[in-house]
C-alpha cells in the first residue's frame, strides 16, 4: 500500500499544492475571510468574488433561499468596485504570498472587461476568472456566456489586457457548451471553469409569490452536480478542447471531487458546501481525496484526471488491480 500520495496539480499557469479551491461568491468579501479559508479551511487557493469596474449594490433581500438540494441566490454581484477591492487582494497577498488568488472579473461590455483586465495586471494575482455566466444580472453575465461571438470578444479583450492565467467561467445553459468553450479557447483562454449556477426560482405558496425579491436566482449545491459533471466531461472529451478544465457545482466530499477529476477536471472549486460542512470543508475534501487515492493504489492525484473519459483504459486497470 502506498503510504502517501502527491496532490499537486497545475491549471492554466497556476500551481496548486492540492486541487481544492474556494469558488467565487462565497466567503470572499474581504482579505480576512479569504485568509481564513486558506489558514483555517485548508483551501489551496481562492477565487475572489466577481468584481466590476464600479461599485454595485446588488439586489434587494431576500437574496438567498435554502432548498433541500442546494441554494438559490440572487445576490446581483454586489461588490465595492475594482479600485476598492484591490486593497483586499493586496492584503491577502501580503499575508499569504505563496497562495494563489484568482481574481473574478465581471464586465457588462467588452470595453469594461479590457479595463478590468488592465487593472488586474497591476495586482499580484496568478490568474483572472472571466465571469461570463452569472444568471443574476440583466446586463453582462448570461448575455455574454450564451453567445459564442460575445464570449470570443470578451475573452480576447481580457487576453489583451492581462498577461498571466486567463480562466473562463462558463454556463451550462447553452445548447452546445463545447461550441462556446472553443471560442474562449480561440480567444486565448488558459483554462475553462464549469459551471456557474443555473437559473431557477422558488415560490412561497402561502404568500403566492416568488421567495426571492429578484424573483429568479442561481441554483447551486448538490442538486446541480450531475449537470456540472456532464459539462466537465463533455469539455474534457472533446478533441477540439485542449486547455484544462476546473470543475465546480455541488462538490461536497472528496468522492465528489474525484468524480469531477475522473471526468477530466484538473482542479475543483467549492462554494455552497461551506454552508453544509463549514469552513473546514476544503481540508476535509482534500483529506478524502488523499484517502481515496491511497485506498485505490494511486500515487498521484494527476493519475485520475480524465480516467472516466477512457472507459477501456479504466477497465484494463481493473484487471491489473
Ligand X SMILES: Cc1cc2nc3c(=O)[nH]c(=O)nc-3n(C[C@H](O)[C@H](O)[C@H](O)COP(=O)(O)O)c2cc1C
Which residues here bind ligand X, judged by CB under 6 A?
23-26, 49-50, 71, 73, 75, 77, 104, 131, 134, 169, 196-197, 220-221, 224, 248-251, 270-273
CB of 29 to ligand X, least distance (A): 10
Burial grade of 175 (CB within 10 A; 0-12, 13-18, 19 or more): exposed
- Nearest distance from C-beta of residue 204 to ligand X, angstroms: 20
In this chain, which residue has its C-beta nearest to ligand X? 25
- Nine cell digits for residue 271: 462554494
The catalytic position among 134, 174, 274, 285 is 134
Give the DSSP per-residue string, 162-198.
--SEEEEEEPS-SS-HHHHHHHHHHTT-SEEEE--PE
| Cα 97 from Cα 44, distance rounded (Å) | 13
Decide if 47 is catalytic: no
Q: Given the DSSP bridges, would you call strands 45-47 and 101-105 parallel, antiparallel or unpaired?
A: parallel
Helix orientation angle between 254-262 and 225-237, rounded to the nearest 10 degrees: 30
Smallest distance, ligand X to C-beta of residue 54, A: 15
Phi and psi at 94, nearest 5°, equal -65, -40
- Give the residue with the Cβ less far from ligand X, 141 or 264: 141
Q: How far is the CB of 216 from ligand X (least distance, A)?
A: 14
| Residue 5 vs 102, nearer CB to ligand X | 102
Is 22 within 8 Å of 269 (Cβ atoms)?
yes
Residues identified as active-site: 134
Amino acid at each position: 500500500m502506498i503510504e502517501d500520495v502527491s496532490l499537486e496539480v497545475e491549471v492554466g499557469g497556476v500551481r496548486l499544492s492540492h486541487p481544492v479551491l474556494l469558488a467565487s461568491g462565497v466567503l470572499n468579501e474581504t482579505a480576512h475571510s479569504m485568509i481564513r479559508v486558506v489558514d483555517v479551511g485548508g483551501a489551496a487557493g481562492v477565487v475572489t468574488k466577481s468584481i466590476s469596474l464600479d461599485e454595485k449594490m446588488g439586489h434587494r433581500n431576500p437574496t438567498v433561499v435554502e432548498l433541500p438540494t442546494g441554494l438559490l441566490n440572487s445576490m446581483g454581484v454586489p461588490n465595492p468596485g475594482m479600485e476598492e477591492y484591490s486593497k483586499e487582494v493586496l492584503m491577502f497577498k501580503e499575508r499569504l504570498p505563496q497562495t494563489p488568488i484568482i481574481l473574478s472579473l465581471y464586465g457588462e461590455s467588452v470595453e469594461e472587461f479590457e479595463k478590468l483586465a488592465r487593472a488586474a495586471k497591476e495586482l499580484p494575482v496568478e490568474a483572472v476568472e472571466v465571469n461570463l455566466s452569472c444568471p443574476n444580472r440583466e446586463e453582462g453575465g448570461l448575455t455574454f456566456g450564451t453567445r459564442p461571438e460575445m464570449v470570443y470578444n470578451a475573452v480576447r479583450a481580457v487576453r489583451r489586457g492581462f498577461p498571466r492565467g486567463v480562466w473562463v467561467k462558463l454556463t451550462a445553459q447553452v445548447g452546445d457548451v463545447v461550441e462556446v468553450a472553443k471560442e474562449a479557447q480561440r480567444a486565448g483562454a488558459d483554462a475553462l471553469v464549469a459551471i456557474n449556477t443555473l437559473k431557477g426560482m422558488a415560490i412561497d405558496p402561502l404568500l403566492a409569490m416568488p421567495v426571492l425579491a429578484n424573483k429568479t436566482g442561481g441554483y447551486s449545491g448538490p442538486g446541480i452536480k450531475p449537470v456540472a459533471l456532464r459539462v466537465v466531461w463533455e469539455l474534457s472529451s472533446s478533441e477540439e478542447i485542449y486547455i484544462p478544465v476546473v470543475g465546480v457545482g455541488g462538490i461536497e466530499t472528496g468522492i465528489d471531487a474525484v468524480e469531477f477529476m475522473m471526468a477530466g477536471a484538473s482542479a475543483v472549486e467549492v462554494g455552497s458546501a461551506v454552508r453544509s460542512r463549514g469552513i473546514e470543508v476544503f481540508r476535509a475534501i482534500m483529506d478524502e481525496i488523499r484517502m481515496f487515492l491511497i485506498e485505490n493504489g494511486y500515487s498521484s492525484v494527476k493519475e485520475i484526471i480524465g480516467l472516466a473519459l477512457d472507459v477501456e483504459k479504466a477497465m484494463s486497470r481493473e484487471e491489473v488491480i
